């Protein structure tokens, strides 16, 4: 089936020269976009036009363009990663948009994710939370036998589901409180269910939550928006586990 | 409170909200059960006996300040939490479609709470203040089964019989409460960590049911007096 071509669309995009610049919206016209092209390809075409006109292209993050690295961000038409479920922006296609539509593109908005330029934000805060406890610090020694440590299928599955988090930040971007709870919950959960990770469970939960608070992310009010916008559909049940791990760890202090 | 202390941490703050919230729900369960006596005995005796019991029971005397403290903590921390959460996003989105991924009540707990607070003010002025301090001719002492007591039934029923406005205020109050709790109840369990993939569906339904029980349970009383009298 041949793809329909959008004769003209309008792209209203956030332009900001530097972290200090106050920024503003600019609206651009883009013509002849196939609905089969990806959203980022549409931005590539727009940027190509801008470069030909001698203007500054729009800065946006991307890398793998296949939904696994988490680099692409973008708040498109009021939703993190745009109008579709369980996808990153690089997996968003132009068939989700209509002829003549004005598409609004904004950077992730959160105090903890300052804008570097245009649509690119600094997500170092996630690295800092990881460095506070998102690892196993015991020496692992030699490779153990495959079945030497029995782990139930249920636990292994839950840990794997949590480990699917790609650190994209959509949870923070979409949360009305800019809370990083889903991200932190995923990182805590992927270890909490496994014997190697359990050992440092209490310390990990306390350290990562303390870092998250320190970096200025908001708190969780259980709206559940993050789970629906997370490209990996990480469940908010992991947030319940994080709360549990944290509260038990604090009670033991 | 030192920096990094439990009550200053995001999860610690929420823990206080959830514990006080669940405590307030328990109180309201008792409160609503007693109120429903209003519509099950038109002589008012049942309700008056219960109200008299609550007013004189020493255990209730102990619970009163604890209840007040529960409200104060719940409200104070709700303001702190909401302020912190707003501060976390210094620049807002120009366009957002939050309605697609979350329920209105879950996003507007402070607004619901603030309206409940106003409602509670009206409610306390209508009944509690008069029963405790100011007095009212309607409260004139009566004798039920040989015990002398205030006629609380008259005070409550006359308000709803005579004022459509107040009746509507109380029906709205019950509805706001139902909305607050339809999110608050399951949210509190999630906050305490007592939730998982299986229980979240159950808690979600229970929260909705409790919300409706409050909406109907409190709302039906003014409706009953408006229609019947
Ligand atoms: C009338 C009785 C009330 C009851 C039974 C009640 C109950 C609850 C419950 C169970 C929660 C959930 C806690 C959690 O998510 O962990 C909650 C949350 C909340 N309540 Fe209330 N509440 C009441 C009154 C109020 C009032 C008067 C206010 C404010 C003026 C208020 C503001 C809030 C806010 C802002 C939240 C959300 C906090 C969050 O999700 O982080 N509530 N309430
Ligand atoms: S939890 Fe989901 S939305 Fe949040 S960073 Fe991980 S993958 Fe992205
Ligand atoms: S560019 Fe890698 S996930 Fe989108």
- pLDDT digits over B12-38, tens only? 999 999 999 999 999 999 999 999 999
Q: Is residue A194 part of a domain?
A: yes
* Average pLDDT score over residue span A189-214: 94
Per the structure, how many domains does chain B have?
1
A65 lines ligand 3 (CB under 6 A): yes
Q: Would you state the pLDDT for residue A132?
A: 96
CATH number of the CATH domain containing B179? 1.20.1300.10
Q: Is residue A53 part of a domain?
A: yes
The pick from B70, B74, B170, B218 for probing ligand 1's pocket by mutation, whose C-beta has the most ligand atoms within 8 angstroms, reads B74
Q: Which of B4, B181, B207, B49 has its CA nearest to residue A132?
A: B4
**Do A228 and A149 share a structural domain?**
yes
Q: Is residue A96 part of a domain?
A: yes
Q: Which of A106, A138, A164 is the last residue of a domain?
A: A106
List all residues 6 or more positions away from A163 whose beta carbon is below 8 Å from its beta carbon.
A186, A190
Q: Is residue A168 part of a domain?
A: yes
Helical H segments across A19-58, by residue range: 39-52
* Average pLDDT score over residue span B130-141: 84
Could you give the CA distance from residue A213 to residue A219 in angstroms, rounded to a whole number? Answer: 8
Q: Which residue in B4, B84, B102 is closest to A225 by CB distance?
A: B102
At B2, the pLDDT band (50, 70, 90 cuts) reads very low
Q: By three-state DSSP, how is residue A24 classified?
A: strand
* Average pLDDT score over residue span A5-17: 97
Q: By three-state DSSP, how is residue A75 classified?
A: strand
Q: Would you state the pLDDT for residue A196?
A: 87
Could you give the CA distance from residue A206 to residue B33 in angstroms, rounded to a whole number? Answer: 42
Q: By three-state DSSP, how is residue B214 classified?
A: helix
Q: Is residue A119 part of a domain?
A: no
Minimum Cα–Cα distance from A205: chain B residue: B11
**Do A233 and A129 share a structural domain?**
yes
Beta bridge partners of B148: B143
CATH number of the CATH domain containing A152? 1.10.1060.10
Asked whether the beta carbons of residue A237 and residue B95 sit closer than 8 angstroms, the reply is: no
Q: Which of B65, B27, B21, B47 has its CA nearest to residue B144?
A: B47
pLDDT tens string A202-240: 999 999 999 999 999 999 999 999 999 999 999 999 999
- Mean pLDDT computed over every residue of chain A: 95
Cβ proximity of A172 and A234 under 8 Å: no
Cβ proximity of A19 and A113 under 8 Å: no
Q: Would you state the pLDDT for residue A138?
A: 77
**Is the pLDDT score of B103 beyond 80?**
yes
B70 lines ligand 1 (CB under 6 A): no
**Do A94 and A130 share a structural domain?**
no
**Do A194 and A96 share a structural domain?**
no
Q: Is residue B185 part of a domain?
A: yes
Q: Is residue A116 part of a domain?
A: no
Q: Is residue B66 part of a domain?
A: yes
**Do A247 and A129 share a structural domain?**
yes
Kindly tell me the burial class for residue B51, based on how many C-beta atoms sit within 10 Å of its own C-beta (0-12, 13-18, 19 or more).
buried
Q: Is residue A148 part of a domain?
A: yes
Closest-lying ligand 3 atom to the alpha carbon of residue A61: 1
At B1, the pLDDT band (50, 70, 90 cuts) reads very low
**Do A236 and A143 share a structural domain?**
yes
Beta bridge partners of A15: A24
Bridge-based pairing state of the strands A79-80 and A102-106: unpaired
Bridge-based pairing state of the strands A102-106 and A75-76: antiparallel
**Is the pLDDT score of B4 beyond 60?**
no
What kind and span of H or E run contains A30? Answer: strand A24-34
Which of A90-99, A182-191, B43-52, B78-87 is predicted with the least confidence, judged by mean pLDDT?
B43-52
Could you give the CA distance from residue B36 to residue B26 in angstroms, rounded to a whole number? Answer: 16
Neighbours of B228 (CB within 10 A): 11
Beta strands in B45-158 (DSSP E): 142-144, 147-149
* Average pLDDT score over residue span B186-201: 95
**Do A131 and A229 share a structural domain?**
yes
| pTM exceeds 0.90, yes or no | yes
Higher pLDDT, B7 or B96: B96
Q: Is residue B99 part of a domain?
A: no
Q: By three-state DSSP, how is residue B44 classified?
A: coil
Q: Which of A57, A76, A106 is the last residue of a domain?
A: A106
Q: Is residue B129 part of a domain?
A: yes
Neighbours of B139 (CB within 10 A): 18
- Structural domain span for residue A210: 124-251
A171 lines ligand 2 (CB under 6 A): yes
Q: What is the ipTM of this complex?
A: 0.91
Could you give the CA distance from residue A16 to residue A105 in angstroms, rounded to a whole number? Answer: 13
Cβ proximity of A137 and A102 under 8 Å: no
Bridge-based pairing state of the strands B142-144 and A120-121: unpaired
The pick from A41, A87, A88 for probing ligand 3's pocket by mutation, whose C-beta has the most ligand atoms within 8 angstroms, reads A88
Q: Is residue B207 part of a domain?
A: yes
Q: Would you state the pLDDT for residue A129?
A: 98
Residue B19 at interface with chain A, using a CB cutoff of 8 Å: no
Cβ proximity of B197 and A237 under 8 Å: yes
Residue A231 has which token pair? 């490209």
- Structural domain span for residue B9: 3-90+104-228
pLDDT tens string A35-78: 999 999 999 999 999 999 999 999 999 999 999 999 999 999 99
Q: Is residue A112 part of a domain?
A: no
In A97-109, which positions are buried (b, 16+ CB within 10 angstroms) versus exposed (e)? beeeeebbbbbbb
Closest-lying ligand 1 atom to the alpha carbon of residue B190: 16
Best mutation target, A96, A222, A236, to test chain B (most B CBs within 10 A):
A222
**Do A226 and A177 share a structural domain?**
yes
Q: Is residue B174 part of a domain?
A: yes
Q: Which of A109, A16, A146, A22 has its CA nearest to residue B95?
A: A109
Question: For chain B, what percent of residues have pLDDT higher than 70?
Answer: 98
**Is the pLDDT score of B208 beyond 90?**
yes
Asked whether the beta carbons of residue B107 and residue A237 sit closer than 8 angstroms, the reply is: no
**Do A193 and A149 share a structural domain?**
yes
CATH number of the CATH domain containing A10? 3.10.20.30
Question: For chain A, what percent of residues have pLDDT higher than 70?
Answer: 99
* Average pLDDT score over residue span B78-95: 96
Can you give chain A as a three-state secondary structure string?
CCCCEEEEEEEEEEECCCCCCCCEEEEEEEEEEECCCEHHHHHHHHHHHHHHCCCCCCCCCCCCCCCCCCCCCCEECCEECCCCCCCCHHHCEHHHCCCCCEEEEECCCCCCCCEEECCEECCHHHHHHHHHHCCCCCCCCCCCCCCCCCCCHHHHHHHHHHHCCCCCCHHHHHCCCCECHHHHHHHHHHHHCCHHHHCCHHHHHHHHHHHHHHCCCECCCCCCHHHHHCCCCCCCHHHHHHHHHHHHHHHHC
Cβ proximity of A16 and A117 under 8 Å: yes
A162 lines ligand 2 (CB under 6 A): no
How far is Cα of residue A99 from the mean position of the Cα atoms in its chain? 29
**Do A39 and A78 share a structural domain?**
yes
**Is the pLDDT score of B3 beyond 80?**
no
Per the structure, how many domains does chain A have?
2
**Do A151 and A102 share a structural domain?**
no
Cβ proximity of B28 and B177 under 8 Å: yes
**Is the pLDDT score of A133 beyond 80?**
yes
Q: Is residue B47 part of a domain?
A: yes
Q: Is residue B213 part of a domain?
A: yes
């Amino acid at each position: 089936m041949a793809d329909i071509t959008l004769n003209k669309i309008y792209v209203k995009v956030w332009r900001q020269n530097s972290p200090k610049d106050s920024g503003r919206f600019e609206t651009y016209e883009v013509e002849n976009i196939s609905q089969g092209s990806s959203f980022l390809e549409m931005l590539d075409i727009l940027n190509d036009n801008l470069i030909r006109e001698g203007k500054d292209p729009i800065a946006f993050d991307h890398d793998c363009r296949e939904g696994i690295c988490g680099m692409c961000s973008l708040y498109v038409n009021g939703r993190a990663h745009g109008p579709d479920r369980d996808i990153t922006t690089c997996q968003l296609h132009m068939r989700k948009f209509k002829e003549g539509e004005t598409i609004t593109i904004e950077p992730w908005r959160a105090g903890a994710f300052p804008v570097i330029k245009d649509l690119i934000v600094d997500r170092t805060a996630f690295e800092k939370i990881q460095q506070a406890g998102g690892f196993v610090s015991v020496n692992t020694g030699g490779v153990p036998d495959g079945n030497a440590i029995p782990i139930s299928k249920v636990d292994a599955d839950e840990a794997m589901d949590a480990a699917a988090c790609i650190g994209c930040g959509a949870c923070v971007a979409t949360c009305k409180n800019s809370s990083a709870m889903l991200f932190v919950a995923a990182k805590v959960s992927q270890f909490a269910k496994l014997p190697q990770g359990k050992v440092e469970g209490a310390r990990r939960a306390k350290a990562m939550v303390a870092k998250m608070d320190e970096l200025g992310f908001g708190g969780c009010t259980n709206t559940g928006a993050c789970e629906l916008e997370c490209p990996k559909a990480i469940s908010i049940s992991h947030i319940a586990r994080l709360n549990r791990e944290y509260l038990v760890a604090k009670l033991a202090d | 409170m030192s920096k990094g202390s439990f009550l200053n941490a995001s999860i610690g703050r929420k823990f206080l909200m959830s514990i006080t919230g669940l405590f307030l729900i328990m109180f309201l369960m008792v409160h609503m059960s007693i109120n429903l006596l209003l519509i099950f005995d038109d002589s008012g005796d049942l309700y008056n006996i219960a109200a008299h019991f609550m007013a004189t029971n020493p255990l209730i005397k102990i619970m009163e300040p604890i209840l007040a403290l529960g409200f104060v903590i719940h409200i104070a921390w709700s303001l702190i939490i909401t302020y912190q959460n707003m501060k976390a996003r210094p620049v807002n989105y120009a366009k957002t479609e939050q309605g697609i991924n979350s329920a209105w009540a879950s996003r507007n707990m402070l607004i619901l709470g603030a309206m409940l607070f106003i409602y509670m003010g009206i409610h306390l002025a209508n009944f509690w203040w008069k029963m405790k301090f100011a007095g009212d001719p309607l409260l004139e002492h009566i004798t039920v089964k040989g015990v002398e007591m205030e006629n609380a039934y008259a005070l409550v029923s006359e308000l709803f019989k005579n004022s459509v406005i107040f009746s509507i205020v109380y029906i709205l109050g019950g509805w706001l409460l139902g909305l607050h709790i339809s999110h608050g109840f399951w949210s509190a369990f999630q906050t305490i960590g007592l939730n998982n993939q299986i229980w979240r569906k159950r808690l979600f339904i229970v929260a909705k049911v409790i919300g409706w029980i409050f909406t109907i349970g409190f709302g039906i009383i003014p409706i009953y007096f408006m229609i019947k009298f």
